[in-house]
């Protein structure tokens, strides 16, 4: 009778570490859920920035085509002006040249602004992708840790849990780097609009 009691009381004590497995797995799952949420957010930011950058570069290209057309027009009118003998025709040609040249200058200024915005969006996309990649690594290690913890509880092998905790620690490390530390170490790109406002 006393032997039976000893067995009943010693069995829960031997498996007491499984409670810690359950607790650590829950904490790892919470971290993995948070990393998934944040990683998804940066994935969306990357896609939006890429689409916006593509639109800006298309807009830049259309301004370049218009500038080229005006430059060609200005060159043709200069030839006409040079060959014109009538002073009135020369004056009309001169006005047309000045108008075309003014538009060329305007297109150059607009192109410079559009280029700055497009380059900022490209940099923002690259920044979001790099930061999101760290969340992705955190998710991977946290999922490995959760899987190893589950195996350790099923097989009653503490070694799997210890290896899982190591993987979890790496995952939490990537999560901490990607979330509060990344912005301090690698500041995000600054919008040209914000630079203008500061000036």
- Report if residue 9 sits inside a domain: no
Q: Please check whether residue 12 lies inside any domain of the structure.
A: no
110 lies in some domain: yes
What are φ and ψ of residue 84, in 5° steps? -75, 140
130 vs 22: CA distance, rounded Å: 33
| Contact indicator for 142, 168 with CB cutoff of 8 Å | yes
Determine what percent of the chain is predicted with pLDDT higher than 70.
89
CA distance 24 to 149: 8
Does 62 reside within a domain?
Answer: yes
**Rounded to an integer, what distance in angstroms lies between the CA atom of residue 16 and that of residue 5?**
18
**Is the residue at 5 inside a domain?**
no
Domain assignment of residue 197, yes or no: no
Residues contacting residue 144 through CB under 8 Å, at least 6 positions apart? 164, 167, 171
How many structural domains compose the chain? 1
| Residue 1, pLDDT above cutoff 80 | no
Q: What pLDDT is attached to residue 81? A: 87
pLDDT at position 194: 60
Domain residue limits at 187 = 20-192
Average pLDDT of 152-168?
93
Predicted TM-score of the model (pTM):
0.75
For the segment 104-143, what is each residue's pLDDT rounded down to a tens digit? 999 999 999 999 999 999 999 999 999 999 999 999 999 9
Residue 127 lies in a domain: yes
Query: Are 138 and 175 in contact, with CB atoms under 8 Å apart?
Result: yes
d(CA 126, CA 130): 6
- Helix 158-176, helix 87-155: angle, nearest 10: 160
Q: What is the band of 89 on the pLDDT scale with cuts at 50, 70, 90?
A: confident
Q: Is residue 4 part of a domain?
A: no
């Amino acid at each position: 009778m006393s032997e039976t009691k000893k067995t009943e009381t010693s069995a829960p004590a031997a498996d007491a570490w499984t409670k810690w497995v359950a607790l650590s797995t829950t904490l790892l799952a919470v971290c993995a859920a948070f990393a998934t949420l944040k990683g998804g957010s940066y994935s969306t930011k990357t896609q939006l920035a890429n689409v916006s950058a593509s639109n800006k570069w298309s807009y830049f290209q259309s301004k370049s085509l218009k500038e080229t057309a005006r430059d060609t027009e200005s060159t043709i009118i200069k030839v006409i002006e040079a060959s014109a003998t009538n002073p009135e025709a020369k004056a009309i040609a001169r006005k047309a040249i000045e108008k075309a040249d003014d538009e060329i200058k305007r297109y150059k200024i607009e192109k410079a602004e559009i280029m700055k915005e497009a380059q900022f969006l490209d940099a923002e996309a690259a920044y979001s992708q790099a930061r999101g990649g760290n969340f992705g690594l955190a998710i991977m290690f946290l999922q490995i840790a959760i899987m190893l913890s589950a195996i350790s509880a099923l097989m009653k092998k503490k070694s799997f849990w210890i290896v899982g905790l190591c993987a979890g620690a790496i995952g939490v490390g990537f999560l901490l780097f990607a979330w509060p530390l990344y912005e301090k170490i690698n500041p995000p790109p600054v919008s040209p609009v914000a630079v203008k406002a500061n000036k």
